[in-house]
Amino acid sequence: MNNSTIVLLRPRKENDPTIHTYDWAEKAYKMMKSYGYTVIDIKKNEVTYNNVTKSLQYYRPRLVVTFSHGCPSSIQGQSECVITRKFDIDELLNMPNLREIIKPLIYSSGCVNTCLAMPDICNPLCMNETNVNLLKDTIVFTVACYSASQLGKCAIRYGAEVYSGYTDLMLFPVDSIHSQDIFRDIHLVFLKALLEGKTVGEAEYDMNRYEDAVIKFYKKTKYVSLPALWNKLHRNVLGNKNARMF
C-alpha cells in the first residue's frame, strides 16, 4: 500500500455528462499534484478494464478516485466496466429481477449504454472478471451514479477501507453560467480535506457543510438547490470513517 499514490479515472465521451466530469477531474488532478501526491492519471480511451486492473495491482494506491458513469455493480470506463463484481450463473438464476435484466437484450446490442438508463443490468452482462477485490485497503471516492448501492458494499466486504459514492443518480445542471461547477466544487471539498490529512469522516462533514451552504444560498434557484439536496440524500460513505490518507 502506497500512501502517496492515487489512481484517478476519468473517461470522456462526446455529448455525454463526462465532458463536464472530465474537467472536474482535471482540477482534482492539479490539486492532488499540488499536495505532492503521485497521481496515476488514467483518462479517455485509456480507461479500460485491463489498464485499470493492472494499475490497481501494480501501484496499490491509497486512494482511488473516479469521475465516470456507474451501475449498481460496476464503475464504467470509456466503453466497458472497469471495476466490477461479476455474478456467477447461480446468482443470476436466483435473481428475482432476472426477467428485467435480460429483457433489454432485445433492444440493445451491449451493456454499456443500456446500464446508464436502466440500473442493474450492466454487471450481470459484462464479461470482465471480478476485480473489486483489488480495492483492498484503499479509500475509494466515486463521482458516479448508482455504484454505492451494490458495488460499494461489495468493495467493503472485499476489504476496501472506505467507499464513497451514490446509491442512485448523481445529478447536476449544465448551463451557460457554469452552474455545473458548483457541483464540481462540492466534491473537491471532500478531496481537499483528504489530501490535507483529515479523516474520511471529517472530509464528509466538510462536504456536507459546503453542500448545505449551497442549498441555502440557491434555495430560490430550484434547478441548483434541488439536485444538490438530492445528491446529499443519495450519497453514502461506507467503511472506516477514521481512515486517513497518511
For the chain, the three-class secondary structure string (H helix, E strand, C coil) is CEEEEEEEEECCCCCCCHHHHHHHHHHHHHHHHHCCCEEEEEEHHHCCHHHHHHHHHHHCEEEEEEECCEECCEEECCCCEEEECCCCHHHHHCCCCHHHHHHHHHCCCCCCCHHHHCCCCHHHHCCCCCCHHHHCCCEEEEECCCHHHCHHHHHHHCCCCEEEEECCCCCCCCCCCCCHHHHHHHHHHHHHHHHCCCCHHHHHHHHHHHHHHHHHHCCCCHHHHHHHHHHHHCEEEEECCCCCCC
Q: How many domains does the chain have?
A: 1
Tell me, yes or no, whether 85 lies in a domain. yes
Tell me, yes or no, whether 151 lies in a domain. yes
Q: Residue 89's pLDDT is what?
A: 66
Tell me, yes or no, whether 31 lies in a domain. yes
Q: Residue 121's pLDDT is what?
A: 36
Tell me, yes or no, whether 111 lies in a domain. yes
With a cut of 70, say whether residue 57 has pLDDT above it: yes
State which of 71-85, 100-114, 121-135, 197-211 shows the largest mean pLDDT.
197-211
Tell me, yes or no, whether 133 lies in a domain. yes
- Strand-strand pairing, 139-143 and 162-166: parallel
> Which domain, by its residues, includes 124?
2-170
With a cut of 70, say whether residue 48 has pLDDT above it: yes
The CATH number of the domain holding residue 13 is 3.40.50
With a cut of 90, say whether residue 125 has pLDDT above it: no
Identify the CA nearest to 180 among candidates 33, 25, 20: 20
Tell me, yes or no, whether 211 lies in a domain. no
Lowest mean pLDDT among 106-110, 159-163, 230-234, 237-241: 106-110
Phi, psi of 15 (to 5 degrees): 55, 45
With a cut of 50, say whether residue 20 has pLDDT above it: yes
Instruction: Please report where in the chains the cell 476496501 appears, as a residue.
Output: 160
Q: Summarize pLDDT for 152-163 with one digit per residue, the tens.
A: 999 999 999 999
Mean pLDDT of the chain: 88
Tell me, yes or no, whether 84 lies in a domain. yes
pTM: 0.87
Tell me, yes or no, whether 219 lies in a domain. no
Query: What is the arithmetic mean of pLDDT over 196-216?
Result: 98
Greater confidence (101 vs 159) lies with 159
With a cut of 80, say whether residue 3 has pLDDT above it: no
With a cut of 60, say whether residue 194 has pLDDT above it: yes
Q: Which long-range contacts (CB under 8 A, 24 or more apart) does 219-225 make?
A: 223/173, 223/179, 224/173, 224/179, 224/182
Q: Residue 103's pLDDT is what?
A: 47
